[in-house]
Amino acid sequence: MSGTSTVEAAERIAVDDEARRGLQRRVLAVVMASQVLGGAGLAAGITVGALLAQDMLGSDDLSGLPAALFTLGSALAAFLVGRVTQRVGRRLGIGLGFSVGGIGAIGVVAAAVLDSVALLFVALFVYGAGTATNLQARYAGTDLALPARRGRAISVAMVATTLGAVAGPNLVEPLGSLASAVGVPALAGPFLLAAVAYLGAGAVLLVLLRPDPFLVARHLEQRTADASTGQVSVAPPLGTGVVVGATVMVLSQIAMVAIMTMAPVHMRAHGHGLGEVGLVIGVHIGAMYLPSLVTGSLVDRWGRLRMATASGLTLLLAGLVAAFAPADSLGWLIVALALLGLGWNLGLISGTALLVDATVAANRARVQGTVDVLIALGGAGGGAVSGVVVAGAGYGALSLAGGVLALLLIPVLLKARRTVQAVTPSPTEDAQTPRAASAAPHPAQEPRR
């Protein structure tokens, strides 16, 4: 179906379940390929961004600034990718986003070679486009997924990210040696990989994501509305599902970014080498993405709100372990960062499912982009403040604050149980036709017992 036009694909899907499943499989395969590359690009900034700034600035106080900069850049990129996608589809939206992120990674390498702090800040901001696009790509898998399988569709993109994201931190030392051999500072080495990975991810999407799943889903939704009412479908008002989904993802992001950003600096201050830093961050990123296949199924089976609650509790536990673990204990640091990644994973998948359930194609990409702006800004705030908190009160205080912040999810979710009225579709609804699926209730909360 790769050469099929959007309209032809939608018309075929409307009468043929197998055509829908075939296109969905193709979309997930392309998204997975791009996410393997995107994950490798994402890992560079997480692993050595703070250390590179620390070396170039000569101060710990601003070592959280790189995370803040590329997260702010990701906020702008999320907004633009959402708008572009709403107008012309996922292919151009996320394909161009990855490409811009690759250009930013090249700029970071140039800044390190030239020892230019100003260029470093600008390049990190541009590099953030890749981070935003990496997250936005998770939505592509949901465009053609039936409501009862959206959690699993999100999880496929997340798991694919694991392959590149886990490999990236563990290549810090060899990439550093390679960079030094060609006259580039060692800490800029991972950004060489990021440049190639992001540009490759963009090329995969621009060439292979045809027909565009978002445009197909939008045409199919419009076709269904025309057939049932004879009127053009319009976007409904945003409801509780959007607010709750956004809150879950934003709070999870703030807690995760704040604690994770300063972990490499904390470890280096207590005698850990780059190899150990790479191991801890690799485990953390693996925990962010690898559990996704299980998480997605649990979100579909047990409900979005239950899994969001589990996210808050897991992030609290991560903060407690990070705060009280001996600084020289590599094992405890691995446990803390693994729990931190798992808590974020639970929050992101459950929150994303809530958001997709509460929107339609007429407003979905635009709302997704706007919510990802809030996620990015929340992460930017966490990254910017993290260095100041550690400099003034220590890593333990930062970790405790991040864990306690995650508890704010609980009252939000308790209120959502009383106000969200939609019912989760049962797994048996997977057998329904696309027309029935598009008219199904949105699964914004737990199944009724």
pLDDT at 448 over 70: no
Question: Taking the domains of the chain in order of start, what are their residue ranges?
Answer: 6-439
- Average pLDDT on 374-397 reads 86
Q: What is the pLDDT of residue 437?
A: 39
- Average pLDDT on 196-215 reads 93
SS (H, E, C) 210-251: CCCHHHHHHHHHHHHHHHHHCCCCCCCCCCHHHHHHHHHHHH
Of the listed ranges 14-23, 74-83, 148-157, 324-333, the least confidently predicted one is 14-23
Q: What is the pLDDT of residue 175?
A: 75
Distance between CA 402 and CA 317 in Å, rounded? Answer: 10
Residue 261 burial by Cβ neighbours in a 10 Å radius (0-12, 13-18, 19+): buried
Asked if residue 172 lies in contact with residue 277, where contact means CB atoms within 8 angstroms, the answer is yes
Among 207, 241, 251, residue whose Cα is nearest residue 363? 241
- DSSP for residue 65: H
Dihedral of the alpha carbons of 37, 277, 106, 59, in degrees to the nearest 10: 150
Of the listed ranges 16-30, 221-235, 272-286, 414-428, the least confidently predicted one is 414-428
Asked if residue 214 lies in contact with residue 84, where contact means CB atoms within 8 angstroms, the answer is no
Coil, strand, or helix at residue 63?
coil
State the pLDDT confidence band at 245, using cuts at 50, 70 and 90: very high
The helix (run of H) or strand (run of E) holding residue 177 is helix 172-181
> What class, spelled out in words, does domain 6-439 have in CATH?
mainly alpha
Most confident of 15-29, 254-268, 338-352, 432-446: 338-352
Core vs surface per residue 175-203: b (16+ CB within 10 A) or e: bbeebeeeebbbbbbbbbbbbbbbbbbbb
- DSSP for residue 326: -
Q: What's the chain's average pLDDT?
A: 83
Higher pLDDT, 63 or 84: 84
Asked if residue 96 lies in contact with residue 34, where contact means CB atoms within 8 angstroms, the answer is no
pLDDT at 442 over 50: no
In degrees, rounded to 5, the angle at the alpha carbon of residue 61 between the alpha carbons of residues 59 and 64 is 105
pLDDT at 38 over 80: yes
pLDDT at 3 over 80: no
Each residue of 228-237: pLDDT tens digit?
655 545 555 5
Distance between CA 252 and CA 345 in Å, rounded? Answer: 9
